[in-house]
Structure 1
Amino acid sequence: MKANRHCLPLCLLVAAIVTTIGGCDQTPSQASQTTAPAATASTTTATATAAKPDVIAVNIDSSVKPGDDFFSYANGAWLKSHPIPASEAYWGIGKLVQEDLYDKLRKISEDAAATKNAASGSDEQKIGDFWNTAMDSSLAEQQGITPLKSELARIDAVTDVTSALDAAFALQPLGVDAFFDFGVQQDEKQSDVMAVHVGQGGLGLPDRDYYFNSEAGVAKARTAYVEHLQRMFKLLGADDAAAKTSATQVMNFETALAKVSRPLADLRDPQKNYNKMAPAELTLKFTPDIAWKQRLLTWKLDAPYLIVGQPEFFGGLQKLLRQTPAPVLRDYLRMHLIDSYASTLGKSLDDEHFDFYGRVLTGQKEQRPRWKRTLDAENEAIGMILGRIFVKEYFPEKTKQRYNDLVEAIRTAYGERIDQLDWMSAATKAKAHEKLAAVTKKVGYPDKWKDYSALQIGRDSYAQNEMNARRWAFDDQLSKFGKPVDRSEWDMTPQTYNAYYNPSNNEIVLPAAQFAIPGYKDDEVDDAVVYGYAAASTIGHEITHGFDDEGRQFDAKGNLSDWWTKDDAKKFGERADVLVKQFDAYEPLPGLHINGRASLGENMADFGGVLIGLDAFKKTEQYRKGGKIAGYTPLQRFFLGYALSWIFEEQDALLRRGLLSDVHAPAKWRVNGPLSNIPEFYQAFDIKPGQPMWRDEKDRARIW
């Protein structure tokens, strides 16, 4: 799923890092597979299995003390025995699950491709033709940039600001957010209405801070980006001197665009990023050269108002457009188009794109196999078509029921925790209970499948299929304008190992491909591990998003509305600031700290998820009996199960990228951070003052 900058679903995993199967680009955990561990409040303890080691004991690194670094203690043996493959930027438990998914989805795709005389427009025809064409590297090499010739011709015709805007608006339906970002989504303050949203965008580097941060690795990436642009221009036919000039000028343009963009942390304030204005007002006050009403009418959007995320960005864009020569605007547009479609073109462009966005920005040493990259693209383009087949073959109804039951166990535990809060007033508690009760759970797969009949997939070219899919998705967005909100819709495919909370729908979405531990069947995983691995790190996490610093500003109906008393909001902010301070202090790379404010929502969801998951686990028979498995108590196994969900290692380049452009903390600190605030964790592992995991009581976060 392309991250929605306007009403971002609060995802469990990292957004916008690397392309993966069909969902929010992710880090480690929340691995999905089709044989999920038992997910009910009455799961039995593990079945004795001589052939398999204990699910958590096998990962323990006994050379590390739990009080020194719990993440390394719990996961160190796994990490030592599973180095990152050269084709990957990161590796972890979720990657092993993804490998299983790849095998299943490849079979679906190859079976479809082998189907003779598949009916035109059928699922099999679309899957088969997309697969065959994307896998045909010789066809892509033969065609080169020919599939993009009409769009490149439009860009070549740019002579002034107006024609540059013509080209930019034509690129939006192709998934190229030149100059700015656009979308049709729910109005945050009126969630039953679909509204037009526009916001900052148009950068080639992952985030605006990449253009300014002085850390050595970031500075190196900036230099490498200009070199990448120069090589791309040469591949498009420019000589050395012209390519160097074009690259430098595009970098200068983007740097100016980044300068008027808001920092990552500021994008998480839904009130400040909600600016409602008529199209004429946006034109008059900020962008005289963009006649918004007329531009939107070309897309048949007669919008009475727009939600403008960052008005000052558009003022800066207007000034920048007028002072930038037309040749530079052409180069900027040309490069954003080519980079967006490089993987569908010939080998030289594909390799060059990977060299920067793969090697430099994520640390990958080599390209992943073409069939895996094809599956990534296929999931992005027609993932719901694949999903219909996937759930039919691999997701039984009984597993869906288990997930439903676990959600209710967590909902009950959260309600009881709200009742126990000593800092929240009765009035706010009543509203919190109302919102909690209204949270919609979507488990496994949609009840109603999206209609893809208008999407044309053929065998002309990989790039053409990609363009068709992106145009279809854009038109699908436009079609929602003026119609009732379809709250049954999903933003992730069933075969996505991820989950999210959507504040405008007040819903948690848990795809089918979720929660499993590779190599273990349901009856081989005990409650303690399940409640740490699945209930705490996924379900509890997502529900807590409805009450984090951002989600708490939306009411039970999904509207951006203040339902807190002023005093309660103040107390909440003070308690949240403790987490901000805690994570600000972590320094994963020399000179680069975690951004505690930008990552606050995720850190709060991790913390709340563990607390709620633990409350729910305490009601199980395993916890009450207190018996050990593999030498570990139920309480220890719960925390080890939580750490299991975050088994993850990454290249420094990807870690650096995440620290600058992602709202999630790195995996290690998503374990050590929240657990160091939980008394039961200290009790379970006898954490002592002076150990790194110890935090004085006065410094511990206390929110939910």
Structure 2
Amino acid sequence: MKLKMAAAVLSLLGGVGAGAQGTVLPVVQPLSAIPFSPVLDLTSLDKTVDPCVDFYKFSCGGWMKKNPIPADQASWSVYHKLAIDNQQFLWGILKDDAVAKDRTPVQQKVGDYYAACMNTPAIDALGMKPVEAGLARLDMITTREQAAHAIATLHHNVAGSFFFGSGVGQDAVDSSTEIVEVGAGGLGLPDRDYYLKTDAKSVKLREQYVAYVQQLMTLAGEPSEKASADAKAILTIETALATGSLTVVERRDPHKIYHMMTLAELGGLAPGIDWAGYFKTQGAGAFTKLNVSQPEFMKAVQAELMTEPVEALKAYLKFHMLTAAAPYLSHPFVQANFDFYSKTLRGVPTMPARWKTCTGGVDRMLGEALGQEFVRRTFSSEMKAKTRTMTEQIEAAMKGEIEGLDWMSPETKVEAERKLHAIRNKIGYPDTWRDYSTLEVKPDDYAGDAVRAYRFEDARNWNKLGKPVDLTEWGMTPPTVNAYFNPQMNDINFPAGVLQPPLYDAKEDDAPNYGNTGATIGHELTHAFDDEGRQFDDKGNLRDWWTAADAKGFEQRIQCVRDQYAGYVVVDDIHINSKLTSGEDVADLGGTLLAYIAWKKETAGQKLMPINGFTPDQRFFVGMAQWACENERPENLRVSAATDPHSPGFARINGVVSNMPEFKNAFQCKAGQAMVHVPACRVW
């Protein structure tokens, strides 16, 4: 929920290194063009594997062998490799923009932000000076009231996680309205369960987290004994907040995170906070109601503010300020942050090169400014038109599937088709670029640039209150290698970054293109009708448009998918939490089927011939599988199993094809083989 709702520490959003540590990373240079990789790569195959036994390993075994995880990454995949290629291309743009004499305002801002980030001698010389004034203000706290007031100031000034989060977003019941939202936050570990599980790995990780907290407090000048006591107190506070939080599965239910109330009612949950003063500090205009996503959590916040010693509350606020700022401070802070969040938590042995940190930072903070530079060089109008055509074909396939469903009533079909026709397709980049003209960026003030960029975005978010929803807004930057469906906007979004080889190649034959990018388009479209998306109507409003019998029929079919995926092991003895992943699993299955239907219609009447020994149908499925080729560290797999709504790559491929008779026929698989799932699951 918006910028300040995130509980993740900034280091998890991208590289945080000041330089390589441990394993020496290869020396690389900026790219003048994004490297080409084929949509269907024969060298990525492992033909010693029977495709009917393990199609993922057949399609990706060669890739997995020749693509070990780089020392500075928690995982490595086709998507991730393209993202780094895009980033290396952007690096060249930023190096030029940083030193160019005749620059546009956009080039000045992205170039100066990059230059400030790359100037590690200046950053190291400052030490922790950028946070000293803020820490000094927190040191002056002597009462609970002052601690509560400090939360408002910190939310306004720091991109950290302090007890809870707030922002402005669309009303789930009236998507045309921007409302105030307050939700859970305040944790330094990835999820509530990290505080509550009692297995040996969880206990050890909490001990390592406490050690990290103590290290950061010591770096900030606290005596070792006090830092140790503060770290334990901080864990106590965060454990109480975690206990009051909904689980990651519960948060997938939009009804469980929608509780409209007045400011007075919020005050009844947490009277220890001056809410009128809090929202005034954030810059919020007048409003009468707001959504409190987790009322029980706010009671837990109140309990902590009223019962914990003031010194413990002060220590908690200081730590969360430090851990949010650590990536922008001198090397010891950067190193400590990396050592816990990347090395310990995700198994990454080596810091990324500084250019990755700085390029990623510009994309994160000035994404639509940098995106203009990216799009101008990589994304043609022809590419946009071809992708739009494929999207429309897949939507036509969805219309046909809805019409042909034997388990859905005519009444619900009318509503489903109304929603389908209302979906907006946003491809490549925004129609109108974000205006950064009021944001000051200096080439010699990295920490200051980060704070100003946060304040700029925070103010932009609060300024939405009371205004019409901007239906043209994007939630990803143009270079991003990803895509998404927004149920309240009722739109699907495909950044230019994901529409590059090896994910899409206009010069390649249709089969692998539809299998890869087509299935991704179908995936996002199917999200409109997964177990979460189906609860929103054509206008993006949370409304039950299903008959009871149709809803029951849907649940029966999605349960088949949940049962199947719950049997897959992620790592160790940890199985997929299919209640968490079912939306993505259904989207994978439905998206592949829709892409297959659209491809067949597009090529109807054409005489398609085998290529490199593979029939057209086989090429479709291999193309579909190879987007998911990946290697992951076991530590990262454990984090993903607990927090990621996506299943691991092998399940996203084998789980899909084993339910498709089209795949069975293409590879002549037989009953009883692993890639023939019984019963075959199908929702859409």
Decide which of 42, 46, 54 is 1:69's aligned counterpart.
54
Distance 1:250 1:5 in 2: 19
1:136: which partner in 2?
119
The reply to whether residue 155 of structure 1 matches residue 138 of structure 2 is yes
Decide which of 550, 554, 557 is 1:568's aligned counterpart.
550
Distance 2:200 2:609 in 1: 51
User: Which 5+ residue runs of structure 1 have no aligned equivalent?
Assistant: 9-13, 23-32, 38-51
1:160 Cα deviation after fit: 2.5
1:692: which partner in 2?
674
1:221 Cα deviation after fit: 2.0
Decide which of 484, 496, 515 is 1:512's aligned counterpart.
496
Distance 1:520 1:602 in 2: 21
Superposed counterparts of 1:608-619, under 5 Å: 608-619=590-601
1:602: which partner in 2?
584
1:324 Cα deviation after fit: 0.7
The reply to whether residue 497 of structure 1 matches residue 455 of structure 2 is no
Does the residue aligned with 1:599 lie in a helix, a strand or coil? helix
**Kept after mapping to 2: 8 A contact 1:36/1:522:** no
1:403 Cα deviation after fit: 1.0
Amino acid at match of 1:126: K
Does the residue aligned with 2:612 lie in a helix, a strand or coil? coil
Decide which of 276, 283, 291 is 2:274's aligned counterpart.
291
Decide which of 290, 293, 296 is 1:312's aligned counterpart.
296
**Kept after mapping to 2: 8 A contact 1:441/1:509:** yes
Distance 1:641 1:375 in 2: 30
Decide which of 642, 652, 669 is 1:670's aligned counterpart.
652
The reply to whether residue 539 of structure 1 matches residue 524 of structure 2 is no
Amino acid at match of 1:688: K
1:17 Cα deviation after fit: 9.6
Distance 2:214 2:61 in 1: 42
Amino acid at match of 1:61: D
Distance 1:126 1:17 in 2: 22
1:59: which partner in 2?
44
Superposed counterparts of 1:478-497, under 5 Å: 478-497=462-481
Report the CA distance shift for 1:15/1:82 in structure 2 as closer, same or farther (over 3 A).
farther
Amino acid at match of 2:118: M
Decide which of 168, 176, 199 is 2:151's aligned counterpart.
168
Amino acid at match of 2:180: V
For these two proteins, the number of residue pairs brought into alignment is 667
2:13: which partner in 1?
19
**Kept after mapping to 2: 8 A contact 1:34/1:514:** no
1:67 Cα deviation after fit: 2.5
Decide which of 101, 111, 126 is 2:86's aligned counterpart.
101
Distance 2:183 2:513 in 1: 40
1:42: which partner in 2?
none
Decide which of 347, 363, 368 is 1:379's aligned counterpart.
363
Does the residue aligned with 2:181 lie in a helix, a strand or coil? strand
Indicate the larger mover: 85-94 or 73-82.
85-94
Decide which of 64, 70, 90 is 1:85's aligned counterpart.
70
Highest RCO, 1 vs 2 (Cα 8 Å, sep ≥ 6): 1
Distance 1:611 1:456 in 2: 48
Report the CA distance shift for 1:205/1:628 in structure 2 as closer, same or farther (over 3 A).
same
1:407: which partner in 2?
391
Superposed counterparts of 1:269-284, under 5 Å: 269-284=253-268
1:36 Cα deviation after fit: 12
The reply to whether residue 634 of structure 1 matches residue 616 of structure 2 is yes
1:606 Cα deviation after fit: 0.8
Distance 2:611 2:233 in 1: 63
The TM-score with structure 2 as length reference comes to 0.93
The reply to whether residue 702 of structure 1 matches residue 682 of structure 2 is yes
Identity %: 38
The TM-score with structure 1 as length reference comes to 0.91
Distance 2:67 2:531 in 1: 36
Deviation per CA, 1:407-463: give whole Å up to 9, x if none: 101100110011111000001111111100110001111111111111111134211
Amino acid at match of 1:703: V
Report the CA distance shift for 1:337/1:102 in structure 2 as closer, same or farther (over 3 A).
same
Distance 2:376 2:89 in 1: 12
1:573 Cα deviation after fit: 1.3
**Kept after mapping to 1: 8 A contact 2:116/2:445:** yes
Distance 2:302 2:625 in 1: 48
Amino acid at match of 1:549: D
1:367 Cα deviation after fit: 0.3
User: Which 5+ residue runs of structure 2 have no aligned equivalent?
Assistant: 17-31
Report the CA distance shift for 1:486/1:92 in structure 2 as closer, same or farther (over 3 A).
same
**Kept after mapping to 1: 8 A contact 2:210/2:235:** yes
1:616 Cα deviation after fit: 0.7
2:642: which partner in 1?
660
**Kept after mapping to 2: 8 A contact 1:34/1:516:** no
2:27: which partner in 1?
none
Amino acid at match of 1:362: R
Superposed counterparts of 1:419-430, under 5 Å: 419-430=403-414
Report the CA distance shift for 1:243/1:593 in structure 2 as closer, same or farther (over 3 A).
same
2:568: which partner in 1?
586
Deviation per CA, 1:105-140: give whole Å up to 9, x if none: 112211111123757xx2122112111110011111
**Kept after mapping to 2: 8 A contact 1:515/1:533:** no
1:640 Cα deviation after fit: 0.9
Distance 2:558 2:319 in 1: 42
1:416: which partner in 2?
400
**Kept after mapping to 1: 8 A contact 2:169/2:178:** yes
Decide which of 104, 109, 118 is 1:126's aligned counterpart.
109
Amino acid at match of 2:382: K
The root-mean-square deviation of aligned C-alpha atoms, in Å, is: 2.4
Does the residue aligned with 1:264 lie in a helix, a strand or coil? coil
Distance 1:131 1:108 in 2: 10
Distance 2:592 2:39 in 1: 22
Amino acid at match of 2:516: Y
Does the residue aligned with 1:588 lie in a helix, a strand or coil? strand
Indicate the larger mover: 322-331 or 218-227.
218-227
Does the residue aligned with 1:451 lie in a helix, a strand or coil? coil
Distance 1:214 1:602 in 2: 29
Distance 2:569 2:199 in 1: 13
1:597 Cα deviation after fit: 0.7
The reply to whether residue 341 of structure 1 matches residue 341 of structure 2 is no
1:256: which partner in 2?
240
Distance 1:513 1:104 in 2: 11
Deviation per CA, 1:597-631: give whole Å up to 9, x if none: 11111111111101111111111338953421111
Report the CA distance shift for 1:594/1:53 in structure 2 as closer, same or farther (over 3 A).
closer
1:29: which partner in 2?
none
Report the CA distance shift for 1:2/1:94 in structure 2 as closer, same or farther (over 3 A).
farther
Does the residue aligned with 1:192 lie in a helix, a strand or coil? coil
Amino acid at match of 1:668: F
Amino acid at match of 2:72: S
Decide which of 223, 227, 244 is 1:243's aligned counterpart.
227
Distance 2:167 2:434 in 1: 19
**Kept after mapping to 2: 8 A contact 1:424/1:568:** yes
Distance 1:618 1:5 in 2: 44
1:691 Cα deviation after fit: 2.9
Does the residue aligned with 2:476 lie in a helix, a strand or coil? coil
Amino acid at match of 1:375: T
The reply to whether residue 396 of structure 1 matches residue 380 of structure 2 is yes
Report the CA distance shift for 1:497/1:401 in structure 2 as closer, same or farther (over 3 A).
same
Indicate the larger mover: 680-689 or 73-82.
680-689
Amino acid at match of 1:466: A
**Kept after mapping to 2: 8 A contact 1:228/1:352:** yes
Distance 2:330 2:304 in 1: 33
**Kept after mapping to 2: 8 A contact 1:246/1:331:** yes
Does the residue aligned with 2:356 lie in a helix, a strand or coil? helix
Amino acid at match of 2:374: F
1:48: which partner in 2?
none
Distance 2:428 2:203 in 1: 43
**Kept after mapping to 2: 8 A contact 1:67/1:693:** yes
Distance 1:692 1:241 in 2: 57
1:20 Cα deviation after fit: 4.4
Distance 1:326 1:656 in 2: 35
